[in-house]
Chain A
Amino acid sequence: MSANAMLPTAFSDLEPFAADWACESEPERYDRRLASSMDELQAFYDAIFPRAKAALDFLDTKDLDDLSDQELNLLRMLYSLSTISFAVDCFKQPKIPDSGSAYLRVISEPVP
């Protein structure tokens, strides 16, 4: 496996999505959702949802304050799953319908 892999080896199948979705901050995740097409959101959702439970079981064995970079990236991919889920499950479009110019970014969030 490449030393530059963003995710733990066990989740290398999700590596193609890591650059886009292992974002460091919530505003980046939300902007990524708005900038994506529904096809792109669906592709990420379809790839990660079947692996989500395994990812969470894996991360649950780790100390939250002592995650490796790769483990942190995996956790952030799960945050991204939550971010895009509303578009995929409810709205069937990236942006919330009738939201006009309304936006609410998280300006302060816990790390990890």
Chain B
Amino acid sequence: MTIELDKLTQDEAAGIDHHDKPQPGTWTEAFGLGTGPVSLKDSYDPAFYEDEKIAVFKRSWLYMGRVDQLARSGTYFTKELTFLGVSILVIRGMDDEVRAFHNVCSHRGNKLMWDDDPRAETHGSCRQLACKYHGWRYDLEGQISYVHNAPEFFDLQEEDLALPAISCEVWAGFIFINLEETPRQSLRDFIGPEVGKLESYPFHEMTQRYVMDAPVNSNWKILMDAFQELYHVPYVHSKMNNPSGPPTGTDKVPFMMPAFRVFGKHRIYTSGGPHANEAVRSPRPLDDFFGSSFYGPVDAPEISGIGDGVNPAKVENWGLDSWQVYPNLDILIWGHRNWYLTYEYWPTGPNTHRFIWNIYFVPPKNARERLAQEQTVLSVREFAIQDTGAVDAMQEALKTGVRDEYHFCDQEVLARHLHECVQGDVDDLRAERAGAGEQG
């Protein structure tokens, strides 16, 4: 028995946006991915989780934050990667360079930079890094600068006392670290040329920032999947899509994606944003008053240009680029509305993760612009709670492990790609171990 699209009425059929697909006829096959069922054991199995920490997170470049957070020499922030057992200190030196260190004092191992709660992240500005326990100090490049009561020590060598450095590189104003002794690729090589071209986008002009940071009851990949497909949108966001009319989903009209691309382990979708699915969406009563919506402020601010990296598929009605940078960073750029977001998904266990998002606007010039931005942020948050609620329920069922086969359609190609890349990294690690075992 073939499952066919339920017969739609003429009006319903007219609501579907149609987009061409590449040869050989599906995105999935065009990207060299198999079309068979997907296990998803990678998203709840504790043994997989342990291997994933090493294979994915200890071997990839990891996003820490924006250079805008380090306004001048001496500004710093810490990032707690609790699941990997490390605390990262990111700091701008006297020479203006951005560096990263393990946040550990060389004396007896105290946590170096922290504020009130040693488990919480902190940020600030200083002339020297000072340890609260015995007063040791380091300069902004991580070299030891003061040891209290030094003559009491036995043969201290300065070079042994520098803070342990971590590979740290910046691309497009985004700061990344790599926990390998010697990273197997530079950041630029890891990013690749297509994603790399995004550095031409004026992220640095959008410094008005909102941050949300919350625990989510799903594996990190499961929420990332929700944000890389539109298949769920008519159902999960049924009322938000069409507040003045019948909820979407009941009409069975699917939301189709104009374009997907895969660039190595990274991937992107480009959608029509406010131009998409207009037949089944109505504005919200207050969108007009606020002058904005989920899609961003209607009166977009001036920016210096959009560069040559966005909309790589050259979609005509460009609305949104959502770039998924492996492993766990999304960069969303809203075309012509001139604002952007980042999403980070940090594992905290096989079935849970920490979700951090940042929303960036051009600083508002007046109350009207300020309010439009607020409305956009709050609109996005309503959609996001619907998604986190959905994946919370999904994880509950997924982790029972009662099925070994799940089914991804062509519109879910990016989710399939993510799982395949993660599985590939873990397979490589396991193969290395097996190889070492044979020689061992």
Contact = CB atoms under 8 A, between A and B. Distances in A.
Contact of A56 (B243, B371, B390): B371
Interface in B284-302: 284-286, 289-290
A75 B375 CA distance: 12
A84 to B, nearest CB: 10
Contacts of A52: 289
A36 to B, nearest CB: 16
B214 A82 contact: no
A82 B286 contact: yes
Interface stretch (A5-13, A14-22, A102-110): A102-110
Contacts of A86: 240, 378-379, 382
B240 A90 contact: yes
A99 B285 CA distance: 23
Contact of A99 (B364, B371, B386): B386
A78 B384 CA distance: 22
A85 B364 CA distance: 22
Contacts of A82: 286, 290, 371, 374-375, 378
A100 B162 CA distance: 48
Given A89-B285, A100-B389, A102-B388, A107 B216 contact: no
Interface in A65-87: 75, 78-79, 81-83, 85-86
A106 B371 contact: no
Contacts of B239: 90-91, 97
B210 interface: yes
B368 interface: yes
B284 A98 contact: no
A96 interface: yes
B346 to A, nearest CB: 15
Contacts of A107: 211-213
A104 B384 contact: yes
B367 A59 contact: yes
A83 B378 contact: yes
Nearest to B371: A78
Nearest to B378: A82
B398 to A, nearest CB: 15
B393 interface: yes
B208 interface: yes
Contacts of A106: 210-212, 377, 381
Contact of B385 (A99, A109, A110): A99
B209 interface: yes
Contacts of A79: 371, 374
Given A56-B371, A64-B370, A78-B371, A104 B286 contact: no
B284 A85 contact: yes
Contacts of B370: 64, 75, 110, 112
Interface string B186-225: 0000000000000000000000111111101100000000
Interface in B78-127: none
B289 A53 contact: yes
A64 B367 contact: yes
B330 to A, nearest CB: 15
B284 A110 contact: no
B286 A64 contact: no
Contact of B286 (A75, A85, A98, A112): A85
B304 interface: no
A96 B383 CA distance: 9
Interface string B139-168: 000000000000000000000000000000
B250 interface: no
Given A60-B367, A64-B366, A100 B392 contact: yes
B99 to A, nearest CB: 24
Contact of B388 (A53, A60, A104): A104
Contact of B216 (A81, A83, A102): A102
Contacts of A59: 367
Given A81-B286, A90-B284, A106-B211, A98 B390 contact: yes
A103 B392 CA distance: 11
Given A64-B366, A105-B214, A108-B211, 20 more contacts: A60-B367, A60-B368, A64-B364, A75-B370, A79-B371, A82-B286, A82-B378, A85-B284, A85-B286, A90-B240, A96-B385, A98-B390, A100-B389, A101-B392, A102-B216, A102-B385, A104-B212, A104-B381, A106-B210, A107-B211
Interface of A: 49, 52-53, 56, 59-60, 62, 64, 75, 78-79, 81-83, 85-86, 89-91, 96-110, 112
7 contacts: A64-B365, A82-B378, A90-B243, A101-B392, A104-B355, A106-B377, A110-B210
Interface of B: 208-214, 216-217, 239-240, 243, 284-286, 289-290, 355, 364-368, 370-371, 374-375, 377-379, 381-382, 384-386, 388-390, 392-393
* Shortest Cβ-Cβ A-B pairs, 3 listed: A59-B367, A108-B211, A99-B389
